[in-house]
């Protein structure tokens, strides 16, 4: 992959540095959109898609009929992959999972809801016989490591071929 460095690994969801109140949401959303425009092909989800595709796996995207609408769905393997932004999904111990200083309560509540939703989605998926993998945004910058992780989650490609 092209030289993806630390700067590129910044959370796409945009972080509210300044400003207070609901305006923050708009700002965050705006900068997320900007980030999307700027680096579409380097977005974490795109990196994961490319890696899975390069490994020869076929997948569907964002199946809304599954808990949490997983980003990548491998129906014949009954496996899914979520690509989580470190900021919004609160990657534990990650340097990108910062907490805004202003409106801390507002954000805390938002983050807790996100985490609850994520946990529930994983539980429901497992209960329904799916095998989920969460890949964090900050874990997508090294293409080799990413590819190996995806491969180990999905198993050997031959298996995939056999299952159609
Ligand atoms: Zn992270």
Q: 119: which residues sit within 8 A by CB, 6+ positions away?
A: none
Q: Is 81 exposed, middle or buried (0-12, 13-18, 19+ CB in 10 A)?
A: buried
Cα 93 to ligand 1 centre (Å): 8
Q: Provide the CATH number for the domain formed by 39-163 in this structure.
A: 3.40.960.10
- The 10s digit of each residue's pLDDT in 21-50 is 444 555 555 555 545 444 444 589 999 999
- The 10s digit of each residue's pLDDT in 111-140 is 999 999 999 999 999 999 999 999 999 999
C-beta of residue 16 within 8 angstroms of C-beta of residue 27: yes
Domain boundaries, the chain: 8-37, 39-163
Cα 7 to ligand 1 centre (Å): 13
Residue 149 — very low, low, confident or very high, per pLDDT cuts 50/70/90? very high
Q: 66: which residues sit within 8 A by CB, 6+ positions away?
A: 73, 80, 125, 128, 130
Cα 52 to ligand 1 centre (Å): 20
């Amino acid at each position: 992959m092209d030289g993806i460095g630390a700067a590129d690994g910044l959370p796409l969801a945009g972080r509210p540095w300044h400003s207070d109140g609901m305006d923050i949401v708009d700002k965050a959303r705006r900068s997320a959109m900007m980030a999307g425009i700027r680096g579409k092909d380097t977005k974490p989800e795109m990196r994961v898609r490319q890696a899975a595709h390069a490994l020869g796996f076929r997948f569907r995207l964002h199946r809304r009929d599954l808990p949490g609408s997983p980003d990548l769905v491998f129906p014949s393997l009954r496996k899914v992959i979520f690509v989580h932004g470190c900021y919004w999904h609160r990657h534990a111990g990650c340097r990108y999972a910062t907490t805004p200083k202003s409106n801390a309560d507002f954000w805390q509540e938002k983050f807790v809801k996100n985490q609850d939703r994520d946990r529930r989605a994983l539980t429901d998926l497992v209960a329904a016989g799916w095998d989920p993998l969460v890949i964090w945004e900050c874990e997508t910058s090294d293409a080799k490591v990413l590819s190996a992780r995806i491969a180990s989650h999905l198993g050997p490609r031959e298996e995939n071929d056999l299952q159609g």
